[in-house]
């Protein structure tokens, strides 16, 4: 197993749920990250879907000592480099391109590449990837589909993301080929907007308890 794969697995195994965050205001990034960490969710994915995202990654990386911050929705090499320069400790993509694979190959920061079909998984295995993002999880076939991949594609681990909530997270976490899940439900927009960090800590603790 490569050093980068080990580093990625060490991050993903910190908790059963990786918060997937869309941050509109960089000023909320640090208190939000601290609330999630306080609830037991240290690894945090900030998606590059807003103008505030890179600054949010930078602030969390600089100011939240216990957080392991990653960047998601990375679509190309420019995104990859910008996210790494901002302090991302892992990179997540919804799919995979040769450009992204090339960018990842030249970096010490691990990539969690996205795949939704057996063919995509096989192509990534050929590139040396053993840990993948299964996206969009529910829309691509859900836990039943992912379970069906566990035997023919044994040895590949997944972090399913997309349509996952507290209600169905255990369906995925019970699978032998799932290391964790990604979810946005632990940081609802309304709680972030209200600055209800205690509420987010409670949701994070509820999610962290899924490991038990």
Task: Supply the residues annotated as catalytic.
Answer: 45, 133
C-alpha separations of 70 from 21, 153, 154 in Å: 10, 27, 27
b/e per residue, 105-136, with b = 16+ CB within 10 A?
eeeebbbbbbbbeeebbeebeeeebebbbbbb
Cβ-contact 13, 180 below 8 angstroms: yes
């Amino acid at each position: 197993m490569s050093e980068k794969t080990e580093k990625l697995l060490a991050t993903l195994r910190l908790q059963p749920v990786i918060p997937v965050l869309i941050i509109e205001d960089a000023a909320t990034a640090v208190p939000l990250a601290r609330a999630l960490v306080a609830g037991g969710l240290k690894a945090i994915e900030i998606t590059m879907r807003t103008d505030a995202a890179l600054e949010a990654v930078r602030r969390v990386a600089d100011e939240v000592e216990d957080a392991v911050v990653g960047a998601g929705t990375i679509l190309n090499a420019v995104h990859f480099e910008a996210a790494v320069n901002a302090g991302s400790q892992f990179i997540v993509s919804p799919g995979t391109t040769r450009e992204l694979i090339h960018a990842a190959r030249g970096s010490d920061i691990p990539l969690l590449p996205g795949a939704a079909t057996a063919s995509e998984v096989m192509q990534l295995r050929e590139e040396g990837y053993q840990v993948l993002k299964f996206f969009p999880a529910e829309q691509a076939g859900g836990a039943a589909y992912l379970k069906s991949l566990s035997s023919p594609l044994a040895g590949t681990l997944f972090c399913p993301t997309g349509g996952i909530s507290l209600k169905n997270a255990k369906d995925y976490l019970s699978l032998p080929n799932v290391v964790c899940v990604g979810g946005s439900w632990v940081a609802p927009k309304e709680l972030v907007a209200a600055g209800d960090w205690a509420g987010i800590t409670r949701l994070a603790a509820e999610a962290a308890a899924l490991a038990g």
